[in-house]
Structure 1
Amino acid sequence: MEKINLLMNMIVSGVNNLYNNYPHIDKLNVFPVPDGDTGTNMNLTANNGYDDVKDNHYETIGSYLSAFSRGLIMGARGNSGVIFSQIIKGLSRGMQDSTELNVEEWQNGFREAKEIAYKAVMKPVEGTILTVIREISEAADQIDPAIDLKDFWNQIIEAGNVSLENTPNLLQALKDVGVVDSGAYGLVKFLEGMNSVVQTGEIVERLSKLETNEGGNIEMDIEGEFGYCTEGVIILNPEWIDKLQINTIRDQLQVYGNTSMVVVIDEEILKVHTHALSPGQVLMFLQQYGDFKTVKVENMNLQADKQVQGGNPNVNKSWKETTSIKIERNLKNAVATIAVVSSEEMKRYFENELGVDLAINGGSKMNPSTNDFIKAIEEVDAKTVFIMPNNSNVLLTAKQAEKEETKSKIYVIPTKTIQQGMASALSFDPSASSIRNSTALSKAIKNVTSFSVSRAAKDSVVDGIKVKKSSQMAIVDGKIVGTALTLKALFEKELGKCITSKTEILTIFIGQDADAKSVSELRKYLDENFDVEYEIVEGGQKIYSFIIGIE
C-alpha cells in the first residue's frame, strides 16, 4: 500500500500543478484569437481522471493507473486532452504489473506512453507534445535502471524541459511567434508536479488565484485528404487472435497506395483507418481476418449537392450537459444527429431551423468532453448517430466518444467550423442509408467557405500575416487571411474575395461584440456590391463578431 499511496500523491500533485499553470498554457498562443484552450482542456481532462479515482480504494499500481487513465479518456477535451489521455493510457499499460515504482518500471511506462500517444494521431507533427513524450521516453531508456529514483526523475524532468525548449525549432509556426508548444508545456508541468513528491514528499498545492486566461492556440492541418476515408472494426477469427501483426496490415495497405494509416489490434479487435482510392479492395483484404463489426467509408473528393433538410422529430431535445440521469437505451430511433455549437442562440438555430436532433452548447471554447458526447448519444437513443464536432479541436474528442460508445453506430463527420456543420446538417436525409448520409454530410463540407471575424488579442505573425493587437482579423477556413483597423475596411478588403458568381447564399451569425452599426455596414456592403441572398441570425457567440457561411 505504501507504493500505491506514493503514486496517488504523485498523480494528485501532477494534477494540481497542471491546474496552477493552465491559464499560462492557454496564453502560449500562436493564433491571436482570444479563445486559447489547450491548458483549459488538459486541466479539465486531468481533473476528470482524478475525480474518478480520488475516493476509491485500489490494491495494485496497475489498477489505480488503469482507473485514472479511464477517467482521463472519458473526460478528454480537445486534441490536447485526448493526446494527454493517451499518454497516460500508455503509462498505465506499461506499468500494469508494477509493484515497486522502481526505475525499470517507469522506463516501461514511458516507453509505452510514447507508443500509444503516437498511435492516437494519424500523422504525428513534431514540435508538439508528441515530440516531448518521445524524447522523454528515449532519455529514460538511456538511464541505468540501478540509479536512485530521485536522480531518475530529475533526469526525466531535465529531458522534458530540453525537448520543450526545442519545439520552436521543429515547428515554424511556434518559432515565428517565439513560444513553445502549449500541450508540451502542459505535459512537462504535470510531470514536474509528480516529481515534487519524488524529491520532497510534498504534494504541490493548488493556488487560490491564477493568472488571467487569454489568447488562442495554433490549429494545424495535420494531413491533406484524398479518396475515401475507410474505417473498419473487425472481430478477429480465433486463429488470428494474438497472432496477427500490425505490420502485416500496414504493409498491404501501402502496396495499395493508401495513406493516413492507423492500425490497432487489441485482443480480439482489429481496427483500421486509412485513406484509399479503392475502399472495396481494402475491405475485401480485411475480411479474411474476421467479421466486420462496423464499416465506414466517406468520400473526401466530390463536391456536394444539397440534400433534403432532415431531423428526427421523436428525439427529446431537453438534454443538458449537467444532467446526472442515466437514460435507458432502447435505440428507439433509427437515426439522429448531434452538433457542437458555441452559444444557446446557435443551439436553438441548429435544432429548430436546421433539424439537428441535439446541439451541445460547448461555449466559446467549444470543448465538450468525451463524456458529454456519450450523454448526448444516450439522449438521442438512436441506432445510428451522426456527430458534427464543428471545431478542429473537438474532432479527437468526438472520435474518442465513437470508440467508447457500445450500442449506437457512430459516424463522426469531420466538420471543423460552425459553417461546415451548418452545411452538413442541411445535407442530412433521414430516409437515406447511413453510408449515403455519411458521404453527403462529408461532401457538404467542401461546399461552404467559412469566413469569420475576430479582434486580435495580441501582436502576432501567422502564416506570414502580421497581426496588430486590437485589429480586426478575417479568418477563412481556419486561417488568417488579412487584417484591417475597422470592420468596414475588413469587409471591403477580404469578404469580397470569397463571394463569387457561383455563390448562392450567405448565412451570417451575429456575435455579442457586433453592434448595430457594424451589422448595418455589412448589409450595405452586400446590397451595393453583390447580387446574393443572405440570412442574418442572432448567433450570440463570443470572440467572433461575425461567423459567415458562404455557399
Structure 2
Amino acid sequence: MSQSIKTLKDMLESGVNNIYNHYPKIDKLNVFPIPDGDTGTNMNLTCTNGFADLENGSFENVGDLMAKFSRGLIMSARGNSGVIFSQIIKGFANGLSGQKETSSEIWVKAFEQSKIAAYDAVMKPVEGTILTVIRETSESISKTFEENPSITEKKLWEAIIVAANISLENTPELLPVLKKVGVVDSGGFGLVKFFEGMEKFLRTKKILARSKKLEDNEGGNVEMDLDDEEFGYCTEAVVLLSADYIGTVNVKEIRSKFESFGNSSIVVVADGNILKTHTHALKPGIILETLQKYGEFEKIKVENMTLQSDKHVKGGNPSIKKGSNDGKTMTIIDSEVEKPRRLLKDTAVISVVPSKDILDYFKEELQVDYVINGGSKMNPSTKHFIKAIAEVDAKEVYILPNDSNILMAANQAKSFEKKSKVHVIPTKSVVAGMVAYLNLDKDESYKKNLVSVNKALKDLVAVSISTASRDVKLNGVNIKSGNLLTLVNEKIFASSKEISDIFKKVFDKYITPKTEIITIFQGTEATFKEVNFLKKYLDENFDVEYEIINGGQEIYKFFIAIE
C-alpha cells in the first residue's frame, strides 16, 4: 500500500471514529424535547459498516480506495442522513477517480463533486441541513484555493474545518424549527465531526481512537413529527441492477414517480450496478413493485420511522444476537422461523411493551398470548412481528403496537403474513394496549371487537410524564430543560418543575364522576415521595379506584390510564 493510500485510509478511519465518539450527542440534537433522536446512530452504523469493507482491502490508488469506501457506505446506509452522507463520499470518489495521490486542487474538485452528488440525491433539498454544510464548505474552500493556489493540503483542511463549522452554526438561521428549539442540524454536526477527524490525522499523523466511554445515549430511535404530517413506512431497498440498467437507470425519473405516489423523504442514488432508494411511503408495496423491474433486490427494509432497533443503540453494535425464547419475549434471530405452522389456536394477541416489568404484567396478569419487549425506544421491526405471528400460530391474530411509531411495522408484517389473518388495532400507548386487550373477546368477530375496543379507547385518557431535555415552547406550553413534560393522548398538555402540579392539573381536569378506574405504571425514575403524593392526592380528592404497578419503564416516570 502506497503512502498516499495509507494516509487517506487513516484519515477516513479517524473521521469514522470521530463520528462514533459523538454519535450519542448527535442523537440528542433532535427537535422534540425528549431525547430520542437517531441521526447519530444512523451515521455511526453507516460509517462503521462501510469502513469495514476497507479493513483488509487492496487498492490501486486513492480514487479506488474512496470508491470502495463509497460503495460500502451505500450498501450500509441507514436513514436519510446515512444515504446523503454516502453520496457526499461518492462525490469524493468522483473527484478522486483515477488519482494516485491527493492534493489541494484535487480536494477542492472532490468537494465540488460531493456538493453535486448530495443535492442530486434528494428530491427536494432543504437548506439548513447537512446539504447546506457540504455546499457552503465546498464554495468556501473553492474561493480559498482561487486566492491561494499554492495552499498546502494541511492548510486547506484547516480552512475546511473553519468553513464547515461556520456553516453548521448558521443552520438554525436557515431552518426555523432548529432556531425555535435551539439546536444545530444533527446531520451537519455529524459531517463536521467526520471532517474534523480527517483533519486531525492529517495534522498529527495519529488516528483518533474510539472513546471507551461515550456520553449517555438516552434516546435512540423515535422521530416524533410535531405537526403529525410525516407518517407511513420507511422503505429502503438496494437493487442489483440488471445489465440493461447499469449506467442508464434514470434516478430522476424514479424520484418523480415516488413523489407522484405522495411519498416524502425521497432519496434515490445509483452507483455502478447498485440502485439505493429511501423514502417514506404510505404503500411500500408500490415502491417495491416499481423497483423490481430494474433488477434483483439485495436488501429490503420496511419499518417504522425510527429506522433503528434497540439493539443498535449502545456501542453502535449492528449485530443481531440470538436469545432464548421464554414465551414472554421474542427471540431475535436472522434465520427464518422453522417451526411448522399448523394454526392450532383460533385467536391470539401480540402486544408490545417498553420494559420487562410491564411485559410480566401483560403476560401474567392480563394473560396476553405473546408480548414483545420493545425496550425504552419501543420500535420492533417488521421482522419482529412476522416471527411473533409465527410463534403464536393462530388462525386469527390481533396486534397491539402500543406506540404510534410501531403501527407501520405491524401493518407491514400484516401485509407479509399469508397464513394467519392479522388485525392491527392502532393502539398508541401502553395503557391503550392494556385497555384494548381487556375489551377484546376472542370468541367474537373482528368487526364486533373493533367496535367495543374503539369505544373503550375513545373514553380513555392516556397520560405519560417524562423529563424535558431542553428549553422550548411547543403547542403553547413553555417547556424548561429538566422540568416535567406531560403528554395526554399523545399531545403536549403541561410542563412544570413540580410533579405535584402535574398530577393536580391532570387529575382535576380528567377525573370525572364517570371515571371508573385509574391504572398507573411507575417508571424507574419515579421517586418514593412522588408516588406517595400521588396516592395521597387521589385518596383525599377523589372517590375512585386506582392501581399502581411497578412498570420499570425508562424515560417516562409514569404511564397513567384514566378510564
In 1, the alpha carbon distance for the partners of 2:219 and 2:235 equals: 36
Q: Is the 8 A contact 1:473 1:484 kept in 2?
A: yes
Q: Determine if the alignment matches structure 1 residue 11 to structure 2 residue 12.
A: yes
Residues 366 and 391 in structure 1, CA contact (< 8 A), matched pair in contact too: no
Counterparts of 1:443 and 1:136 in 2: how far apart (Å)? 56
Q: Is contact 1:506–1:533 with CA below 8 Å preserved after alignment?
A: yes
Q: How far is the alpha carbon of 1:17 from its aligned partner?
A: 2.0
Name the amino acid aligned to 1:483: S
TM-superposed deviation, 1:203: 1.9
Give the C-alpha shift of residue 327 in structure 1: 3.6
For residues 65-87 of structure 1, give each alpha carbon's deviation from its aligned partner in whole angstroms, at most 9, with x where no partner exists.
Answer: 333554454xxxxxxxx333223
Quick check: 1:49 aligned with 2:49? yes
Is residue 81 of structure 2 the alignment partner of residue 84 of structure 1?
Answer: yes
Spell out the pairing of 1:467-482 with structure 2 (5 A cutoff).
467-468=479-480, 471-476=483-488, 480-482=492-494
Secondary structure of residue in 2 paired with 1:194:
helix
Q: 1:547 to 1:68 in 2, by over 3 A?
A: same
Report the alpha carbon displacement of residue 163 of structure 1 after superposing the two structures with TM. 2.4
Alignment of structure 1 residues 399-478 onto 2, 5 Å: 418=430, 450-456=462-468, 461-462=473-474, 464-468=476-480, 471-476=483-488
Distance 2:428 2:194 in 1: 29
The more displaced of 36-45 and 339-348 is 36-45
3-state SS of 2:164 partner: helix
Could you give the per-residue CA deviations for residues 198-245 of structure 1, whole angstroms, max 9, x where no partner exists? 455432234566667779999651654499989999999999965666
How many residue pairs align between the two structures?
502
1:333-344 correspondence to structure 2 within 5 Å: 341-344=353-356
| Residue of structure 2 in register with 1:301 after alignment | none
Change (3 A) 1:263 1:431: farther
Amino acid at match of 2:167: S
1:115–1:223 distance in 2 versus 1, CA, 3 Å: farther
- 2:85 corresponds to which letter in structure 1? I
Contact preservation (8 Å) 1:450, 1:548: yes
Q: Secondary structure at the match of 2:494?
A: strand
Summarize the Cα distance change of 1:357–1:128 in structure 2 as closer, same or farther, 3 Å threshold.
farther
1:197 and 2:219 correspond: no
1:148-167 matches, within 5 Å, as: 150=154, 153-167=157-171
Query: How many angstroms does 1:13 deviate by?
Result: 0.8
- CA displacement 1:404-434 (0-9 Å, x = unmatched): x999999999987555666788899999999
For residues 210 and 174 of structure 1, the distance between their equivalents in structure 2, rounded to whole angstroms, comes to 25
Mapped partners of 1:488, 1:514: distance in 2: 12
Deviates more, 1:169-178 or 1:123-132: 123-132
Q: Give the Å deviation of 1:510.
A: 0.9
1:66 aligns with 2:67: no
- Asked whether the 8 Å contact 1:215–1:457 carries over to 2, the reply is no
Q: Comparing 7-16 with 52-61, which one deviates more in the overlay?
A: 52-61
Shift of the 194–113 alpha-carbon distance from structure 1 to 2, 3 Å rule, reads farther
Q: Which residue of 1 aligns with 2:372?
A: 359
Q: Is the 8 A contact 1:236 1:270 kept in 2?
A: no
Q: Go from structure 1 to structure 2 and tell me whether the alpha carbon gap of 1:183 and 1:226 turns closer, same or farther (over 3 Å shift).
A: closer
Give the letter for the 2:194 counterpart: F
More displaced stretch, 345-354 vs 419-428 = 419-428
Deviation of the 1:508 alpha carbon: 2.7
Per the alignment, residue 502 of structure 2 pairs with 490
Amino acid at match of 1:345: D
Q: 2:554 aligns to what SS in structure 1?
A: coil
Relative contact order (alpha carbons < 8 A, sep ≥ 6): 1 or 2 greater? 1
Q: Say if 2:351 and 2:368, in contact at 8 Å, map to a contact too.
A: no
Asked if 2 retains the 8 angstrom alpha-carbon contact of 1:377 and 1:385, the reply is no
Provide the residue aligned with 1:168 in structure 2: 172
Deviation of 1:545 after TM superposition, in Å, equals: 1.5
Separation in 1, partners of 2:207, 2:11? 7
2-structure distance, mates of 1:249, 1:28:
28
How much has 1:549 moved relative to structure 2?
4.5
Q: Does 1:111 align with 2:116?
A: yes
CA–CA distance in 2 between the matches of 1:408 and 1:138? 57
1:5 aligned partner, one-letter code: K
Offset, 1:492: 1.5
Contact 2:40-2:190 at 8 Å conserved across structures: no
Q: Which moved more, 1:418-427 or 1:174-183?
A: 418-427
Secondary structure of the corresponding residue to residue 453 of structure 1? strand
Structure index of larger Rg: 2
Alignment check: 8 A CA contact 1:331 1:408 kept: no
Residue 12 of structure 1 and its aligned partner are, at CA, apart by 1.9
Hey, what's the Cα distance between the residues in 2 that align with 1:387 and 1:149? 57
**Where does the alignment leave 5 or more consecutive residues of structure 1 unmatched?**
74-81, 299-314
Partner of 2:188: 184
Q: Distance in 1 between matches of 2:443 and 2:243?
A: 40
Whether the 8 Å contact between 1:449 and 1:477 is mirrored in structure 2 is yes
Quote how far apart the aligned CAs of 1:158 are.
3.6
Amino acid in structure 2 at the alignment position of 1:8: K
Does the C-alpha gap of structure 1 residues 130 and 499 become closer, same or farther in structure 2, counting only changes over 3 Å?
Answer: farther
Aligned counterparts of 2:464 and 2:46: Cα–Cα separation in 1: 32
**Equivalent of 1:547, from 527, 534, 559?**
559
Specify whether residues 232 and 544 from structure 1 end up closer, same or farther in structure 2 by C-alpha distance, changes over 3 A only.
closer
Asked if the contact 2:133–2:164 (Cα under 8 Å) also holds between the matched residues in 1, the reply is: yes
Q: 1:109 to 1:514 in 2, by over 3 A?
A: same
Choose the corresponding residue for 2:523, options 498, 507, 511: 511
Once residues 387 and 555 of structure 2 are traced to their aligned partners in structure 1, the CA distance between those partners, rounded to angstroms, is 31
Q: How many Å apart are 1:288 and its aligned residue?
A: 13
Mapped to 2, the partners of 1:112 and 1:443 lie a distance apart of 51
Q: In 2, distance between residues paired with 1:408 and 1:361?
A: 25
Distance 2:551 2:511 in 1: 21
Aligned residues: CA RMSD: 6.3
**TM-score of the pair, normalised by structure 1:** 0.63
| Cα offset, 1:453, TM superposition | 1.6
Report the counterpart of residue 310 of structure 2 in structure 1: none
- Contact (CA 8 Å) 1:114, 1:133: kept in 2 or not? no
Residue pair 2:400, 2:427 contacting (<8 A) in 1 also: no
- Aligned-partner Cα distance in 2 for 1:543–1:130: 32
